[in-house]
Structure 1
Amino acid sequence: MTTERRMPAVDADERSMLEGWLEFHRRTLAVKCEGLTDAQLRTASVEPSPLSLMGLVRHMADVERSWYRRVLAGEEAPPLYFSDEDPDAEFHLTEADTWQEAYTIWQAELAAARQAAAGFALDDLSKGRHRRTGQRMSLRWIHTHMIEEYARHNGHADLIRERIDGATGD
């Protein structure tokens, strides 16, 4: 599988620009994971951190689910991996955890996020509320936050990938 990434248009309207950058960063994380074995994708960055590429994909699946399904759409969508007992469970991988499973779940959450966002204007406030602050958020805020979230974690992914096989890049 080869993931295509396109830079967002430089003259797009605001929504297209935000969604273009969000898609670019979603695809960047997929690119960072391409061509690796399950064992490599489970490789932790550096002890004692459990941070791994597969863990990042699982984390982002939960983040997409939280912001777009729970907060924006107001759905009852329980966490995929984490819990109150293990708030970092997405990073606690075992030999049984596979890339195919993590990738499939992430792609399903991306599809659900796109569908939820399509029903809102940028200024529309979410149906649900942020779990800690109780605030309703605009789609613009959620998109901007997600771009930041992916950009930060893609930096982590760069370093992890370089550690695994020396690959560097955009």
Structure 2
Amino acid sequence: MASGRISLLVDSPLRDMLIAARGLPAEVRKQIGVQTKAAAEPIWFGETRDRAGTRLQQRALVNPARVGVTARNVFLRSGSVGKLASGTPVSAIAKAAEFGADPTKQITQRSRKGNRYSRRLGNAFGIPRRGGNTFHPAARDSIPRFAALWVQTAVRTALDALELKGK
């Protein structure tokens, strides 16, 4: 459904850290990514879990929440992996779970016997909300934490690697 990321287009300590990390050995750079992901996933899962107001948001946005770390970015993902108990892909309903849907919208369905009928969508997704319900507020509040975490983890991992190398 959605993905948020930290941009390095502006001059920042993150950008300086990544430029300095280019000179580190490949194994140390890999460890920085592994350590950052291990520390960031519980934070991201907690942030999304705290904002989920319904079971549908929990199943569609919180359970598939993931963090991806590359050499240049930390990616925050939600609502793109997995299926619900009904077999519906999470990605098919993630947008409606995040932003809500008009309860009076008419949708067409088929019964088990194959007959077509129309019904109203109802309030399963909640009222429409431009700023989102779960993912976007969580990303807005947690991105500064991830930036600080990334710098701290990179510095700590690099110093640990240099300390072991000196012994």
Classify the TM-score, shorter chain. 0.3 to 0.5
Structure-2-length-normalised TM-score? 0.37
Structure-1-length-normalised TM-score? 0.36
The answer to which structure has the higher helix fraction is 1
